[in-house]
Structure 1
Amino acid sequence: MLVTLLQRGVDLVLFGGCVLAALSVGAASVRRLAPFGISRLEAVTLALGAGIVVIAYGVLVIGLLGWLHRAVLIGWLAVCYAVGLRDALQELGRRRFPYPFAERWRDLHWTERVLAVLTVVLNLLALLLCFVPPWAGEWDSLSYHLAVPKLYWLDGRVHYLPFTHHAQFPMTPQMLYLLGLGLTELKSAAVAKSFHWLCFVLCQLALLSWGAGLPHRSLRMGLFAAVAFATMPLAFTEATTAYVDVALTAFVLLHLLGLTRFLQQPDGRWLLWSGLFAGAAAGTKYTGLLCVAVVVAAPAVLWLMRRPLAGQWRAVLAATLLAFGVAAPWYIKNWLWTGNPVFPFAYGLFGGRQWSAEMAQAYTLSNREFGGGRDIGALLALPFNLTLNEIRFGRCAGQWLGNCFQKGTCPKRWKCGKFDNVDTPPLSVGILPLAISPTAVLLVPWATVSFSVGVGLPVAVAVAWLAWGFAEAQYLRYLLPVLAVGCLVVGVTVAAWVRINAVMATLVRSVVAAGVVYASLVIMWYAKPLLPVAVGVEEPESFLRATTPVYRVAEFVNRALPHDAVIATYGEPLGYYFERRYFWADDGHNRLVPYARLKRVDDLIVAWRRLGVTHIIVNWRYVPAESVIARWIADGKRRGLLETLWRDDAALPSTEVLAVVRRRGL
């Protein structure tokens, strides 16, 4: 336990150093591009957002140059300090900033102050849960969000990984995870996961800042928006993982914050900030390209507002170039490595290395299996199913209202549930969006310029994002930017209700309190089994053996297999804990193994050996016994071509590790 606690302390120091480096280099940008009248809160928010973007892209450059060493990463952080530490001290500490809000802390009702304190406590709890080692509940972290950066670190460079299309996605947050893994030399993932938590805090800072640009300059509005987001169970749980959706949400919010400020006041520097974060959003996920499109459309918005364009063209052009420039490295890298800038999408237009038309079609259909139908009934039920339905009424459920009656038998069950693969109570979004947001139609003065721009424009972007989600991938965490804008609407609406009279203020505060209490209970339900390992009472190894079957496989692999082993995995994409070279060999992930030309196990072994394969891992849970691969593996074992080295019978169906036996003639 003492060793674990010492590692926690080291991780905190390293993460704190990264945060200070981000603030330092970000402050240098704020000092040179600070819009007129910016507050300290807005300056810190912009500095933190810009800083993590700069640090991430610096790590990308270091990785592409093949300089991935701990000393180089520390040197990069030192450069960030040297560039901006003086600016951080001067700009964020000594400079006189205007106070952005009409209210002060003492003007808030006691219940609102309690909510603020509770939000801080929940943020600290989320940070604590970042010390839980990546486990089976963090599927995507184990398969690529952390696994790919770990492979880069082991190889000492960022390079083309042909076995997974996920490695070709834009990876700005993953560069931060690479930094975290490298600083600890793979001893801990806590620093890496904490970067996603930092984006969670950044989302709240952006929402808190929003009130300064609206009529009434309401601190209360920003506070309620931040509380709604921080207590949303979906956002909270995402913040404790090394996923990317909270990071994407932070960049989207900062992009929209800069854009709305630009449209509210004629200062082109706000549009530059919007362009920077639009590019960062597109560098995080392909869906972030919508933000770049919004920046490009800024002149049309100005024209609709009847604002003169003559003095704004320079800012519009600079912001557009900045957005494209920040996003471009990921798309150029894809073009050079795969021939497709948006790999694996748009295959019919660009093609793509290690991909095929059949794989592209299967991938599209797989994404569309999430969620419910795409008919008018599913559209009308969308508000209910986003907020109050405990399942995502998937195609397997066959119901667009109510509960699924096939939970025990449906083969697509893993695509149900709002927390990916974890069974949770309902209301993972919470009750506040549906309880509060509809009343915005009655209270918010949408016709006024300040509200139509400051709130209406983000809502319009969110509606466009939601339309894409409804048509393509009805996956709840993909809609986190939409839900964050919904939290903005919650904040605006609650602040408007509070201003009416004391009775309405008491009523709406009671509704908010009820929503926060329920959300907190869901959060504690999620956190309870993870707290022992988070605080160091339970050892990480015993926790992982009990919760994450692939960890037991990795223990054997890392202990028993030679260091030069090359492993082909079947039905087992969770490779984060493997310390041997591996690749996904399943048909459908890539074309490394030409299955269409193989007739028997002998052909398969020849194909393996061309790839240097010495061992295979088969997770029989995801490899059907009647499949061709299963028959070939059984034939190989019967003929002595494959030798079982280890079997995990603790989890059934079991996972096997087999050696490819070397024989002449094959």
Structure 2
Amino acid sequence: MTALAVLLLQVLACVGFGAVVLRLLRIDRTLQWAERVSWSFVLGIGILGWLIFWLGVSGLFSPLPMALVLIAGVPGVAFLGRPEGLSGAPLSPLELFLLAVLLLALSLDGLEGLSPPADADTLAYHFAIPKLFLQEGRIFFIPRAVDGAAPLLLQMTYGVALGLGGEKALTLWTMVSGWGTALLLFVLARNHMNRAWALAITLIWLTTPAVLYGGGAGQVEVRNAGFALLAVAALMRGHKAGWLRYAALAGLAAGLFMGSKYTGLLFAAAAVGALLTLRRWPLQAVVFGAMALLAGFQWYLWNFLHTGDPVFPMLFPLIGDANYPYWDADHYLAFRNDLFQGERAIPNTPLWMLAYPFLATFATSGAFDSGRAGLGPFLLLILPFAVAGFWRYRRDIATGPWRAPVIVFTLFYVFWFLSGSSQRVRHLVPLYPVVLLVCAYLAIRWTESAKAGWPLYLAGIFTLGIQMAGHGASSLNYARYLFSDETRKAYYERNISGYSAVEWINKNLSGSDKILFLNRQLHYLIDVPSYYAYPSSQVLIDVLPTVDDPKLYYRQLVKQGITHILSEAIWAGRQPSEVEKRGYGLWRVLLANGCAEEVGSVPYNLILSRSLDSRQANGRRQLILKLDKKTCTLK
């Protein structure tokens, strides 16, 4: 099947699955047609991932069963009904301009969607794991923290696109599924503000640096933002009607968020806080919880069955070393230092929690990662007007539907910050459209009542100007590939550090070999069996920097079936330090003791910036070693 045909089929199937669920919950008749489409698509993305899990654990993670699932979803589109309520006032010049800018932004997105994937996290696991599952024809347990034994609901949808339409269908699917959040945001915004502002808010979201960073790639935050928006929209409707069906829908959306990322657990807890303010809240909470559990339990049960820990490896201190497979105390300490300490710039205290949004906006620390993946300036620019609107209309908020999103994003932020986890700004992306919608609504309402709208107009113009410029700059990388005769090899050589090793490996190794590697960006690109040995996230091959036991290292390599090792980047002619001889560098001891031989050497070019095409040919190389059991003296 061609990539475009697969994309169309997958979109229709998702809309169909979502429409069926909305009909079963008897919610579709309460929605306008545009709402039915946007709600169905976002909901259907999660339902597709939920269904494909069962194929995977049944050993049916292959194209034909996937195609049958998609075909089964398409008839549900009929539940959308005929379009109605789409006619309105003619577009004003401002709206035509915003629509043109929106089309330009989507076109720039399309450049990424038509190019090979190059984002590091995407290549490391978002795309690599579905590829591995397809090669095996089943889902299997990957005993690696964060990116292996983790909620992978959205990656199931990536597997469908890759399995049926190849890489082009996969990159187009991540682009279009990311647009689902933007469509839902526009529809929700249109219910509470005029068309021009709804378009502007949608544009601001689409061009937010963090959205550009991960929206068109495999990173899940932008798609999780769709689940968060859908849950909040259902809670707002539930406040008005008091119907349990909206609690059920909110629970489904929260559960899909849970099934896609561990932070979905924080979101579900925050949503329960909003439910406590509704009528019949005990029953509402029970319905919400049951549906969230139904939608989100799969990967937590999967982890539990293999490790005894549904949130592997977070419960290691409670379960203990003796009863915990695939983990130990040394790796837990290293894991905490990497993820919790290494990605935190400020203490997780209430005072710093208040300061964080300002510090992160101005990129005061590299740990925030807000220089390349921040949330943009718009919220900070309109904050005074949003606060003024909140104060003026506080009674309406306290008793009306807007209470739900305010409670949800406030509690989520508190839970997230005080948890002491990574302080990277992009972890807040799933709640950003909720905050954007609420703050824009309050600021617009206050400035209209005060007849002082010009500051908001300036804030919007300033934000869109900066963000569209950034979007254009980041798209040059993809335009260069698409509009020139550049080959895929040349594209990756200027986008992926150490890519030369991939060319050597895929050319010289076969399916009977298995190579150990450290550079995560190579994972998806390596076509032969491989083992990704990140030091602090797996224990089967212990390469922590403190490890200095070459005999154990060799035994672990043999046990995992490793035949080759790709070294880290080394300087030719320079003697390694004692630190470099330990951990992953133990290959040097193998080489010295006849346990391995050098069979290849490739240059290592460091990529400093993909967007700016900044590279550094620094004279380093990577070695490819082949294990030699016959001459090894370490047995």
Compute the displacement of 1:231 (Å): 2.4
Distance 2:126 2:293 in 1: 24
Compute the displacement of 1:606 (Å): 3.1
Which residue does the alignment assign to 2:612? none
SS at match of 2:299: helix
Q: Structure 1 residues 645 and 277, CA, compared in 2 at 3 Å: closer, same or farther?
A: same
Which residue does the alignment assign to 1:443? 389
Distance 1:250 1:579 in 2: 33
Distance 2:285 2:483 in 1: 49
Greater alpha carbon shift after TM alignment, 113-122 vs 12-21:
113-122
Which residue does the alignment assign to 1:172? 153
Which residue does the alignment assign to 1:463? 410
Native 8 Å contact 1:208 1:225 kept in 2 = yes
Q: Structure 1 residues 328 and 379, CA, compared in 2 at 3 Å: closer, same or farther?
A: closer
SS at match of 1:649: strand
Which residue does the alignment assign to 2:7? 15
Question: Which residue of 542, 548, 568 maps to 1:619?
Answer: 568
Distance 1:241 1:631 in 2: 32
Greater alpha carbon shift after TM alignment, 598-607 vs 247-256:
598-607
- Are 2:20 and 1:33 equivalent residues in the alignment? no
- Are 2:306 and 1:337 equivalent residues in the alignment? yes
Cα distance per residue 1:125-179 (max 9 Å; x no partner): 21331222122xx111111111111111111110112255521111111111111
Q: Structure 1 residues 350 and 638, CA, compared in 2 at 3 Å: closer, same or farther?
A: closer
Cα distance per residue 1:43-101 (max 9 Å; x no partner): 1111112211221122111111111221221111111124x14334xx2x25xx557xx
SS at match of 1:616: strand
2:253 partner amino acid: F
Distance 1:435 1:499 in 2: 17
Question: Which residue of 510, 516, 532 maps to 2:464?
Answer: 516
Distance 1:38 1:132 in 2: 37
Cα distance per residue 1:345-396 (max 9 Å; x no partner): 1222245421123322322222232242116774454232232x2x3515xx
- Are 2:86 and 1:134 equivalent residues in the alignment? no
- Are 2:102 and 1:123 equivalent residues in the alignment? no
Which residue does the alignment assign to 2:599? 645
Distance 2:463 2:519 in 1: 40
SS at match of 1:481: helix
- Are 2:354 and 1:383 equivalent residues in the alignment? no
1:609 partner amino acid: V
User: Within 5 Å, which residues of 2 pair with 1:319-398?
Assistant: 319-350=288-319, 352-367=324-339, 368-374=341-347, 378-379=352-353, 381-387=355-361, 389=362, 391-394=363-366
Distance 1:121 1:594 in 2: 49
- Are 2:401 and 1:432 equivalent residues in the alignment? no
Distance 2:482 2:416 in 1: 34
SS at match of 1:466: helix
Which residue does the alignment assign to 1:404? none
Distance 1:416 1:383 in 2: 10
SS at match of 1:285: coil
User: Within 5 Å, which residues of 2 pair with 1:102-501?
Assistant: 104-106=88-90, 110-135=93-118, 138-163=119-144, 165-184=146-165, 187-188=166-167, 190-211=168-189, 214=192, 218-220=194-196, 222-297=198-273, 300-302=276-278, 307=279, 309=280, 316-350=285-319, 352-367=324-339, 368-374=341-347, 378-379=352-353, 381-387=355-361, 389=362, 391-394=363-366, 415=367, 417-418=369-370, 424=372, 428-444=374-390, 445-449=392-396, 453-471=400-418, 472=420, 473-496=422-445, 499-500=448-449
Q: Structure 1 residues 69 and 536, CA, compared in 2 at 3 Å: closer, same or farther?
A: farther
SS at match of 2:623: strand
Which TM-score applies when normalising by structure 2? 0.87
Which residue does the alignment assign to 1:547? 495
Cα distance per residue 1:173-201 (max 9 Å; x no partner): 111111111113xx42x332333333432
Question: Which residue of 52, 62, 72 maps to 2:65?
Answer: 72
Question: Which residue of 539, 543, 546 maps to 1:591?
Answer: 539
User: Within 5 Å, which residues of 2 pair with 1:513-592?
Assistant: 513-535=461-483, 537-570=485-518, 572=520, 574-585=522-533, 587-592=535-540
Cα distance per residue 1:496-543 (max 9 Å; x no partner): 2563476x3344323311211111111112111222224565322210
Native 8 Å contact 1:173 1:284 kept in 2 = yes
Distance 2:435 2:542 in 1: 47
Greater alpha carbon shift after TM alignment, 346-355 vs 73-82:
346-355
Q: Structure 1 residues 121 and 67, CA, compared in 2 at 3 Å: closer, same or farther?
A: same
Which residue does the alignment assign to 2:621? 654
Cα distance per residue 1:319-363 (max 9 Å; x no partner): 321111111111111100111001121222245421123322322
Distance 1:382 1:255 in 2: 26
1:116 partner amino acid: L
SS at match of 1:592: coil
2:50 partner amino acid: Y
Q: Structure 1 residues 237 and 314, CA, compared in 2 at 3 Å: closer, same or farther?
A: same
Compute the displacement of 1:494 (Å): 4.8
1:440 partner amino acid: A
Which residue does the alignment assign to 1:402? none
2:402 partner amino acid: V
Identity, in percent, stands at 21
Q: Structure 1 residues 294 and 637, CA, compared in 2 at 3 Å: closer, same or farther?
A: closer
Q: Structure 1 residues 229 and 490, CA, compared in 2 at 3 Å: closer, same or farther?
A: farther
Distance 2:469 2:161 in 1: 31
SS at match of 1:593: coil
1:37 partner amino acid: T
Cα distance per residue 1:558-615 (max 9 Å; x no partner): 1111321122224556311111222234543322136799865344323322222211
Q: Structure 1 residues 316 and 632, CA, compared in 2 at 3 Å: closer, same or farther?
A: closer
Q: Structure 1 residues 21 and 297, CA, compared in 2 at 3 Å: closer, same or farther?
A: same
Which residue does the alignment assign to 1:58? 51
Distance 1:453 1:220 in 2: 25
1:249 partner amino acid: A
Distance 1:289 1:539 in 2: 43
Cα distance per residue 1:232-276 (max 9 Å; x no partner): 122123112111111111111111111111012233322221111
Compute the displacement of 1:287 (Å): 0.9
Distance 2:267 2:423 in 1: 20
Compute the displacement of 1:297 (Å): 4.3
Cα distance per residue 1:279-319 (max 9 Å; x no partner): 101111111112322454455212xxxx4x2xx76555333
Q: What is the count of residue pairs matched by the alignment?
A: 605
Distance 2:42 2:502 in 1: 36
Distance 1:85 1:511 in 2: 39
Question: Which residue of 62, 79, 84 maps to 1:87?
Answer: 79
Q: Structure 1 residues 517 and 34, CA, compared in 2 at 3 Å: closer, same or farther?
A: farther
Native 8 Å contact 2:597 2:625 kept in 1 = yes
SS at match of 1:583: strand
In structure 1, stretches of 5+ residues that fail to align are 1-6, 395-414
RMSD after superposition: 3.0
Which TM-score applies when normalising by structure 1? 0.83
Native 8 Å contact 1:204 1:230 kept in 2 = yes
Distance 2:380 2:152 in 1: 33
In structure 2, stretches of 5+ residues that fail to align are 606-617
User: Within 5 Å, which residues of 2 pair with 1:40-51?
Assistant: 40-51=33-44
